Amino acid sequence: MRMLEKSSGLMRMLVVAFLFTGLVMSCDKDDDPKPSLSAPAVNAATDITANSFKISWAQVTGADKYLVDVSTNANFSSTLNNYSKKEVTTTNLVVTGLNAKTKYYFRVYAKKGTTTSAASGVKDATTAE
């Protein structure tokens, strides 16, 4: 009889462990995929002067912010001060503090909460003399 009680207790423990494992595994599944954001479509720079230019892009559905990178390197191995994932809430930005006759590259990301889109296509602008 004692052996039966012990095996019955062990069986209950195994059932509880099995159910708990199933519960944990179902909670670990990512049933709700992260929302995705499209990469912004960036326009050519406008209002180009010797030390600034304006960039703009199409609004991305669901985005509440945009991140802007500006660099003198096409591969963005380094970015300008204040223009490394610069956060903005509009769909345009005047980039200032630039050097004359210099080629700059820019790209934009859409953001909502902790979700960030892929980068836009890269565009470039050369400042005036």
Q: What is the pLDDT of residues 91-116, one digit of tens each?
A: 999 999 999 999 999 999 999 999 99
Residue position matching structure tokens 């892929």: 118
Per-residue pLDDT tens digits for 16-66: 555 555 544 555 455 556 669 999 999 999 999 999 999 999 999 999 999
Determine the 3-state secondary structure of 26 from DSSP.
helix
pLDDT given at position 108: 98
Cβ contacts of 92 within 8 Å, gap of 6 or more: 54, 55, 56, 57
Architecture field, domain 52-126:
Sandwich (2.60)
> pTM of the full predicted structure?
0.74
- Inform me whether the pLDDT recorded for 15 exceeds 90: no
How many CA within 13 A on the CB side of residue 22? 6
| Nearest residue to 68 (alpha-carbon basis) of 3, 8, 125 | 125
Question: What's the confidence (pLDDT) of residue 10?
Answer: 61
CA atoms within 13 A on the CB side of 122: 12
Domain ranges of the chain: 1-33, 52-126
